[in-house]
Amino acid sequence: MINHEIPSPELAACEVHGMTRSSFILRGALATGALYGAGAVAPFVSAAFAQSGGGDAEILNFALTLEYLESAFYTVKGKQVGLSGQAKAYAREFGAEEEAHVSALTAAIKQLGGTPVAKPTFAFPVTNESSFLALASVLENTGVGAYNGAAPSLQSKAVLASAGSIVQTEARHAAAIDLLIGMSPTPNQGFDRPLTKTEVLAKAGPLIKTS
């Protein structure tokens, strides 16, 4: 499976750590990306596998932190900001769903024999509906990338199924929020880019005050 003809020089940089070097779908994605202008895919492959070890419980604890963040954002900050109309409806609905994710992840971590992280405190730099929605978009899209980036490292297929179920919901939230604020519901076009832990922390870290 090595030494395929490489149709595009960017592919040479497309390396999967500890995996085989050929990245079939992504190779295809890159080829179509070149055809359709779908954007850069090169960082994509490495990102999906750049998660360090630590096991399923650690990955889920990282996810739990993000879900705590989203949940607090919608349910607490959403009320403080004073939303209206569709924004208010989404905050209520999505907030409840993020809370359900928190509960599910907490239970899953315990089931794996791990200790769920404590709920951190957060500081959200938003003061009105439009800044609220802009940050909601960042959080939801980051959530999608975080789950997609971590999922291939999960050992348990049952945990993977749960993570998949959650990330689909995050993607739906992201699209709805993006549409509401006039942005593309598919910011990564045909292939959602997985994010590394570092990339996720760059977005979410500044919002976390204590943990």
Residue 193 C-beta: closest distance to another protein, Å: 7
User: Rounded to whole angstroms, how far apart are CA atoms 143 and 137?
Assistant: 10
Q: Does 48 bind another protein (CB under 8 A)?
A: yes
Q: Does 181 bind another protein (CB under 8 A)?
A: no
Task: Name the maximum alpha-carbon separation found in the chain.
Answer: 58
Q: Does 77 bind another protein (CB under 8 A)?
A: no
Closer to another protein by CB, 52 or 210: give it: 52
DSSP secondary structure letters along 116-167: PPPPPEE-----SHHHHHHHHHHHHHHHHHHHHHHGGG---HHHHHHHHHHH
Q: Which stretch binds another protein (CB under 8 A): 55-63, 125-133, 163-171, 199-207?
A: 163-171
Beta bridge partners of 122: 208
Q: Which of 8, 10, 15, 38 touches another protein by CB under 8 A? A: 38
Closer to another protein by CB, 125 or 182: give it: 182
Contact 78, 90 (CB under 8 A): no
Backbone angles phi, psi at 83, to 5 degrees: -85, 165
Closer to another protein by CB, 130 or 186: give it: 186
Beta bridge partners of 210: 121
Closer to another protein by CB, 104 or 207: give it: 104
DSSP secondary structure letters along 71-94: HHIIIIIHHHHT--HHHHHHHHHH
Q: Does 4 bind another protein (CB under 8 A)?
A: yes
Total site size for another protein, rule CB under 8 A: 66
Q: Does 25 bind another protein (CB under 8 A)?
A: yes
Q: Which two tokens stand for residue 197?
A: 């832990």
Q: Which residues of this protein are in contact with another protein, per CB under 8 A?
A: 1, 4, 16, 19-20, 22-29, 31-33, 35-36, 38, 44-45, 48-49, 90, 93-94, 96-98, 100-101, 104, 144, 147-148, 151-152, 157-158, 160-162, 164-176, 179, 184-186, 188-194
